[in-house]
Structure 1
Amino acid sequence: MSAARAALRLARRDAWRSRGRSVLVMVLIGLPVLVFTGLLTLVQTMDVTRGEGLAAALGAAGARLVQAPAGTTIQQRPDGTSWSTGDGRPAAEAAPELGAAGVAALLGPGARLIPYSTGTLRLSTGQAEAVETDLRDPLTRGMLTLREGRLPAPGEVAVTPALGLRPGDLVRPSGAAPLRVTGVVEHPNRPALRAVAGPELPQLQAEDFWSPGLSGRGWLAGTATPVTWTQVAALNRAGLHVTSRAMFLSAPGPSPGGVRQAVALGTMAVMAVLETALLAGPAFAVGLRRRREELALIAAQGGSAGHLRTIVLAGGLLLGGAATLVATALGVAAGLLGAQVVARWAGQSGQVGPPDVPWPPVLGVAALGLLAGIAAALVPAVQAAAGPAAVLAGRPPATRERAGWPLAGAALVLAGLAATVAARRQPDPVWVWAAAALTMIGLVAVIPWLVGVTGRPAGRLRLPLRVSVRDAVRHRSRTASAVAAVTAVTAAVVAVGIGAWSDHVDRRDAYTSARPAGLLAIWGGTMDDATWSRLRAEAARRLPGVPLAAGYQPRDAQGHRYALRYTVRWNGTRTRRTAAVGGQDLLALLQGRHDARAAAALASGKAVVFDPAAVRGGMLRLRAGSTGGPPRTLDVPAVVAAPAGEHQGGALLPRALVERAGFVTAERQLYAMHRLPAGSALPRDLARVTPRVTVAQEEGYRNLPDPGLWAWLAGCLVLVVGGTLAATRLAAADMAPERATMTAVGAPAGVMRLVVAGQALYISGLGALVGLAAGAVTGVALSRPMTSHGSGDPATVAVPWPFLLAVVVGLPVLAAAAALVTRTGPALARRTP
């Protein structure tokens, strides 16, 4: 029998004999594999590729065409991935709407069109997406799959399962006759979609907030030849947005990440293997001490040191392989099931494709899990051949500390810190994480020395803590592995916490607006006076009793629109603002009160500016820009005033000042201190008057701190408390002689619980403190690439003190409290006469 085969047989026998420890090791190794495999599978399944989404977007058609509202011009990129509206032409120059015959002529001979329109349908139970087309036509095959009943004819509808209706039920649109449901259809990629489909739908609101992906009237086209980019450009000029099958499939995919992606993946792989090996390391260390006698007998019968190392490594290979196999299967299943659950939970926006397992990264994760199992057994394997004679004599083997390891670790830590300082200057945070991985590897080598140093004052502690700390120091390999695992997790969480909080504070401080929070703005684009009058009347009708302040649009003598802008530095960032033009009523809205000094300055023809840095020598420099007219520079008299909001800037110019500069002003803006209710129909009602209107509600700074911080804290809780409890539970099982001695001298049962809790506090506390120091350095370094916006912009560094307190103090206390319930019954020791 070969040595490797014999080692595997011995490893299998030992794993079966110590089933509890074996399960613990498999859980510690397999849990990260399960999580990463599940996430990879879930993301891949929920990522609907162009090919997977082709049937839902086009069915069997060669192209889908959406008619833009009158006066709107379309510009698509050749790859079809983006589009825009408007190119600066007046609305009168835009092409008129075409009918089906005209569109078919543009597509060429053999083209066949069927109506296909999308929008919103108001039902008695809420809103639903509406698809107005004949699902019986072969061109729609694959867009909506029939699950129950039959496809609808004119006057009938089909619904998706999310509406909760069955064939024979009635759909009740608001203000229209009920429609009978003949079938239940399912979207291939959106399981939670609320939709109604049929050849004839009442009150289809495709004109509201026109978007070719959400709403619009158009056609599905079956073509004899693929629709090329040349045809798409011509159709754009005719006011049609085009989704072509040929463009859809030929659009380029995402470019590879290159060096950055390789560094990121390498860093993640190193840290994942390191963390898993450190978590499982104490279990292998305890297993080695339990097998000392067996290994010593093998050595006495001629087994070499290599044979003993092979036997211990075989345990890591066996348990790591079994854990990886089970975790990979469970992770794939969890990812596939989770994709459906997440897509339904996300509601209307949730998407999911066909089951898809990214096998290359999944197999890479499995390989890392197997490698982590072997790495966790590496240190015990090196120690396996130590002192077989002493073991057979009943004495613990003498272990020799390697003096060079702490020095090598300190050198790696210094190199990692230097690399962190250098990486802080890079624009990508991935280099900071790579440097942090180097620092962490060095700390793993230094931590055994730290355990020995921090254990020296143990003689001054109370008995339970003294026993727990001395036991931890005595079994340094087991303790150092657990401390290093806590250190790695804490350092990562602290770094993420400081970086994310710094980014939040930077975004909060950098936020600025030219309008106070709560201000409603209605802006009109290029339109004549009659259209604006109708728009203003509709706004007044829809906002009864709300005072409306007028804003004005500067134009030159040829009718070209101008914007009067200035540049100011706001919290280190250059900000470009557009000055408003208006009167006293608009000034009162911008200041939130009546300011007699500012009102007098505006009445005298001066600009009122809310950015003090923009006014120099009592003058404000403006740049007048236009898409049609020549640019100009204006220096106007100005006074500085206080705005209504803390983050508010901007400037207000009186009409007389603008007109003295040679411009003509026309009312094209309305402002009101009024918050629209959720789901307000005002934007839709105004868009019916003209699509060239913009409705904006100033919400103020709305970004909350990243909730992912607390998800990181939850993950840290699982790893820190779980890893600490695993190590202390192994220590409690390994302290049978001490427990027997303490029981023999009359120590109460609670003392042993305090011993175990003290060891949990020592492991998690030391790991949290070292992790705090390492994570703080990394977090400060992360803050620069995350918050700096150019060479002249200083970085923002902010510390989330409550979060760090919960990590560094709360988690060790929680681990110690959880260890108090560890079962520590009296142990019976076998004594030699």
Structure 2
Amino acid sequence: MSTVVAALRLARRNAWRSRGRSALIMVMIGLPVLVITAMLTYFATMTVSPREGLVAELGAADARLQQAPAGTVLHQEPGGGNWSTNGDGAPGPRRSAAEVAALLGPGTRVIPFNSGRLQLGTERVDALETDLRDPLTKGMLALREGRFPAAGEVAVTPAFGLGPGDLLRPSGGAPLTVVGVVEHPHRPTLRQVAGPDLPLTPPAEFWSPFDEGSGWLADTAKPVSWTEVPALTRAGLYVTSPGTIADTELALARSSSMDVQHTVGLGAMVIMLVLETVLLAGPAFAVGLRRRRRELAEIAAQGGSAGHLRTIVLADGLVLGGAATFMATVLGVGAGALGAPLVAQLGGQAGPPEVPWPPVLGIAALGLLTGIVAALVPAVQAARQDTVTVLAGRAPTMADRPGWPLAGAVLVLAGLGATAVARRQPGTVWVWSSALLIMIGLVVLTPWLVRFTGRVATRLRLPLRVSVRDAVRHRSRTASAVAAVMAVTATVVAMGIGTYSEFMDRRNAYTSARPAGMLAIWGGPMSDATWNRLRAEAVRRLPGVPLAAGYHAKDAQGRRYALRYTVRWNGTRTRRTAAIGDQALLTLLQGRHDPQAAAALAGGKAVVFDATAVRNGRLALRAGSTSGPPRKLEVPAVVATPADEHQGGALLPRSLIEQAGFSAAERQLYAMHRLPAGSTLESDLGKVTSRVTVASEEGYRHLPDHGLWGWLVGALVLVVGGTLAATRLAAADMRPERATMLAIGAPSGTLRMVVAGQALYISGLGALVGLVAGTVTGVALSRPMTTHGAGDPATIAVPWPFLIAVVVGLPVLATLAALITRTGLPLARRLP
């Protein structure tokens, strides 16, 4: 029998004999593998690739051709495309089905389709206008009940809760009979109506080939490839086909090759994951070594070499790591594949079950490697143990490596220098890579830190003095646990400072063109008669609420223009749309009557609340339209104080707009009024016209990211779990001392304090060192996370409650958990 086979058999028997310890090691190794594998599978399944989504778009057709609006300039190429609706292209007539078939060559058959919105009362739902009975539409929607609709009939998705025989009553159209229930291939919660003739709402003002629009499904004699695309796009047709999708995916794959930052970030993440898992699982492997020292010594006494002992201990890591990785991979794949459809039922989309095998197998190999690396230090210790000392029942002593503190200090200094440089680089990957150097250096320094801090033991009371001295005596065991707590704490502290700084920067950067508490009612393109009805309904629904009017700018051809300017707010370029109104609206925007601002507005000047936007008494504006040529304007302006400190914007008088060649049409209403909870104002106004928007300015109401406290929960599991594992090992090593204390009458509380002292020392030292390392990294992270260009100062904010919970709360919890450790022991025989 070979040495490796014998070692694996011994490892298997030892793992089964110590099932509790084996389960602990497998959980620590397998949990990261399970979580990452589940997330990879989940996202791969939830992501519907262009090829997977072809059936929902094309059905059984060879191509989908979407007609762009007149005047749209199209350009398609592998890897993407672009389109513009600025009117630069020559408008042309809409293509007929015969013209489209002629463009695709002989033998082509086309059927029309139209995707858009259907108005059902106050709700607008997705709608597909096409004949689902045609073979070309097979697969676009799956029939679940009834039949596909004919003229005057519709099919609905299950989200409506309707069945065959029910009636659907669209706004502005005759009732439609539901004859079937259909389901989208990838979106089970989609609310969609399908039928051959639907009263769709007018299309959106901004056209996109990925939203609503009309076109044709084509059955061609040969596949549609990129050679036919230029002629089709010149005809105003956006093309989707299997041939174009394949070339697009190939182009995207080539353009998404890993760059330097991505490679460095991935490498740093892998090293961090291995380091943390090894540090957490290391004490558990040390427990196994402690229990097997006599067995290994007997093997050595019978002729086993140091290599044999190393192989036996490494086999533990191979067996446990392999079993943990296999189980975690299977469970992760199953959880990800089964979880995606369940989440899609709550909203979203899901494709067919998909496992990204290259990264999944890479994570599995990483988990197996982690198990072997975690057993490496105990394996080296086993090979160096003195056989006579172990067989005599005395604990072996481990000498420190004299060069390790110097190497650790060099790594820490190098990491600090790299961090100082990395904080000025774009992105956070370089900061995390530099932090990894600091963390590795601190891991190397940890045995020295344990020995150095052990000097305080002489000033402590007996239980704590015994705990600290024992921890110093077994530095290899203690250092691993302290380093694990340090790594977790440093990571969580860095993330806390960086995330909170980003939150504070966003809060400081928050800005609005309206004060908090203002209600805005905006009307889209509509006739004056429709607006008058809408305004009357708003007055009726808001009795006693003063309403101030706002206006849209239109040119002589009736094209709507928006007047915008750009300003820097907290280092970020912000684009604002200037409002058009009179004294009533100015009073609302300022929250008071300002005589100087009112006089300027009456005199035909713009009142601006962004001081930096006004230069030499002028405000530069850009007038933009979706259907007309852009214009640049410079208008006289004065700076005024708004109602809120985070408020910006500008108000233009109608006289100023008319001087620039525009006319003003009332299409907005403003009021200082907060709608009650459950208000139906928007739905009530929507009964007049669907082109209305109701918005309430609530101010900055976002809370810090809940993920911050999620990090705290993760740290709680890792810190308390790792500390208790090390404490259990310490309790096993301290059996003689605890038995002696019990024999001389020490109360159980003293014995518990000895065990809890180990937990307090390990978690406290790790948390303090992690606080220092994490603060350095967090401050460095704050710069790339909160700066938005040259000259923008970084925002550094410290979440004190969060840090106290991490640095103080976690050690306290670990200590309290250790206090419940069983301390009753039988008397042990002490050897001289």
Q: Name the counterpart of 1:27.
A: 27
Report how far residue 325 of structure 1 moved: 1.4
SS where residue 618 of structure 2 aligns? strand
- 2:35 aligned partner, one-letter code: V
Contact map agreement 2:128 2:192 (CA 8 A) in 1: yes
Equivalent residue letter for 1:302: G
The match for 2:647 is: 648
Secondary structure in 1 matching 2:401: coil
Q: 1:667 aligns with which of 656, 665, 668?
A: 665
> What residue number does 1:477 align with?
476
Q: Which stretch shows the higher mean deviation, 800-809 or 515-524?
A: 515-524
TM-score relative to the length of structure 1: 0.88
TM-score, with structure 2 as normaliser = 0.88
Once the two structures are superposed, residues 19-66 of structure 1 have per-residue CA deviations (whole angstroms, 9 ceiling, x without a partner) of 221121111111111111111111112121111111111111133345
Q: Cα gap change, 1:365/1:107 in structure 2, threshold over 3 Å: closer, same or farther?
A: same
Counterpart of 2:192?
A: 195
Match of 2:260 in 1: 259
Structure 2 contact 107–220 (Cα < 8 Å) conserved:
yes
* Partner deviation per Cα, 1:752-811 (whole Å, 9 max, x = no partner): 333333322222222122111111111111111111111211111111222222222222
Which amino acid counterpart does residue 646 of structure 2 have in structure 1?
H
CA contact (8 A) 1:207 1:688 kept: no
Paired amino acid for 1:116: F
Distance 1:582 1:679, change over 3 A: closer
Give the superposition deviation at 1:663.
4.5
Where does residue 8 of structure 1 map in the other structure?
8
Q: Tell me the distance in 2 between the aligned counterparts of 1:108 and 1:20.
A: 72
- Counterpart for residue 371 of structure 2: 373
Q: 1:424: how far off?
A: 0.9
SS at match of 2:51: helix
C-alpha distance 658-196 of structure 1, shift in aligned 2 (>3 A) = closer
2:217 to 210, 214, 220: 220
2:489/2:767 contact within 8 Å kept: yes
Tell me the residue number matched to 2:313. Answer: 312
| Match of residue 528 from structure 1 | none
Task: Tell whether the 8 Å contact from 1:448 to 1:480 is kept in structure 2 after alignment.
Answer: yes
Q: Which residues in structure 2 correspond to 1:314-333 (within 5 Å)?
A: 314-333=315-334
1:427 matched residue in structure 2: 426
Distance (Å, rounded) in 2 between the aligned partners of 1:280 and 1:299: 26
Is the 8 Å Cα contact of residues 206 and 215 (structure 1) preserved in structure 2?
no
- Listed as ranges, the matches of 1:54-73 within 5 Å are 54-66=54-66, 73=72
**Which has the higher mean CA deviation after the structures are superposed, 489-498 or 748-757?**
748-757
* 2:310 aligned partner, one-letter code: R
Aligned with 2:52: secondary structure? helix
SS at match of 1:680: helix
- Is this contact kept in 2: 1:30–1:324, CA < 8 A? yes
What is the rounded CA distance, in whole Å, between the counterparts of 2:683 and 2:67 in structure 1? 23
Aligned residue runs from structure 1 range 320-359, under 5 A: 320-345=321-346, 347=347, 350-359=348-357
Q: What is the aligned length?
A: 812
Match of 2:535 among 522, 535, 540: 540
Aligned to 1:170: 166
Q: 1:190 to 1:456 in 2, by over 3 A?
A: same
Partner of 2:277: 276
Report if the CA contact (8 A) 1:80-1:247 is conserved.
Answer: no
Contact 2:40 2:336 (C-alpha < 8 Å) held by counterparts? yes
Structure 1 residue 133: Cα displacement: 3.0
Question: Deviation at 1:622?
Answer: 2.7
Q: Shift in Å at residue 429 of structure 1?
A: 1.0
Post-superposition CA distance 1:231-280 (Å, at most 9, x none): 76776677665544443332232512321221111111101111111011
**How many Å apart are 1:131 and its aligned residue?**
3.1
Preserved contact between residue 279 and residue 485 of structure 1 (Cα < 8 Å): yes
1:406 to 2:390 alignment: no
Q: Which runs of 5+ in 1 are unaligned?
A: 526-530
* Structure 1 residue 524 displacement after superposition: 6.3
The aligned counterpart of 1:794 is 793
Closer, same or farther: CA 227–300 of 1 in aligned 2, 3 Å: closer
Structure 1 residues 508, 480: CA separation in 2 closer, same or farther (over 3 Å shift)? same
Tell me, yes or no, if the aligned pair for 2:408 and 2:443 is still in contact at 8 Å: yes
Residue equivalent to 2:618:
620
Calculate percent identity across the aligned residue pairs.
65
Q: Deviations over 1:675-720 (max 9, x none)?
A: 786793589779878xxx9987656445543222222222222222
Cα distance change on mapping 1:270 and 1:740 into 2, 3 Å: same
Which of residues 94, 108, 112 is equivalent to 2:109? 112
2:141 aligns to what?
A: 144
The AA in structure 1 aligned to 2:455 is R
Give 1:331 deviation, angstroms: 1.2
Q: 1:360 aligns with which of 345, 358, 361?
A: 358
Query: C-alpha separation between the residues in 1 aligned to 2:378 and 2:110?
Result: 73
In structure 2, the CA distance between the partners of 1:208 and 1:410, relative to structure 1 (3 Å rule), is same
* Structure 2: stretches of 5+ with no match in the other structure: none
Alignment equivalent of 1:249, drawn from 246, 261, 267:
246
The letter of the residue matching 1:598 is A
Distance 1:484 1:686 in 2: 67
Does the C-alpha gap of structure 1 residues 753 and 596 become closer, same or farther in structure 2, counting only changes over 3 Å?
same
Aligned mates of 2:98, 2:752 — CA distance in 1? 86
Corresponding residue for residue 520 of structure 1: 520
Report what 2:709 is aligned to: 710
Give, as a single letter, the amino acid of the residue that structure 2 aligns with 1:197: A
Instruction: Give 1:758's aligned residue.
Output: 757
Aligned to 1:295: 296
- 8 Å CA contact 2:552–2:561 kept in 1: the answer is no
Q: Residue by residue, what CA displacement relative to the aligned partner does 1:280-338 show, whole Å, maximum 9, x if unpaired?
A: 10011121121221222222222222222222112112211121111111111111112
Aligned partner letter, 2:257: P
In structure 2, relative to structure 1, the CA distance for the partners of 1:179 and 1:632 (3 Å cut) is closer
The C-alpha deviation readout for 1:103-138, integer Å capped at 9, x for no partner, is 545555433233433345567998754333333321
Alignment deviations for residues 471-496 of structure 1 (CA, whole Å, 9 cap, x no partner): 32222222211111111111111111
Q: For the Cα contact (< 8 Å) 2:567–2:573, is it kept in 1?
A: yes
Displacement after TM superposition at 1:415 (Å): 0.6
SS in 1 for 2:194: strand
Aligned to 1:680: 682
**1:399 positional shift:** 1.4
CA distance in 2, matches of 1:204, 1:431: 52
Cα drift, residue 467 of structure 1 = 3.0
1:464–1:344 Cα change, 3 Å: farther
Q: Distance in 1 between matches of 2:344 and 2:638?
A: 55
Give, in angstroms, the shift of residue 148 of structure 1: 5.1
The Cα offsets for residues 546-578 of structure 1, whole Å up to 9 and x where unpaired, read as 6341336386x9999887665544323454545
Distance 2:56 2:658 in 1: 55
Name the stretch that deviates more: 481-490 or 205-214. Answer: 205-214
Q: State the partner residue of 1:807.
A: 806
- Please give the secondary structure, in 2, of the residue aligned with 1:116: strand
1:45-97 Cα deviation digits (max 9, x unpaired): 2121111111111111133345567x77464544484555621469xx85455
Deviation for aligned residue 1:222: 2.3
Cα distance in 2 for residues equivalent to 1:666 and 1:129: 34
Q: State the distance in 1 between where 2:230 and 2:633 align.
A: 38
Tell me: CA distance 1:686–1:717, structure 2 relative to 1, closer, same or farther (3 Å): farther
Residue 289 of structure 2 aligns to which amino acid in structure 1?
L
CA 1:538–1:61 in 2, change beyond 3 Å: closer, same or farther?
farther
**Partners of 1:261 and 1:683 in 2: CA distance:** 50
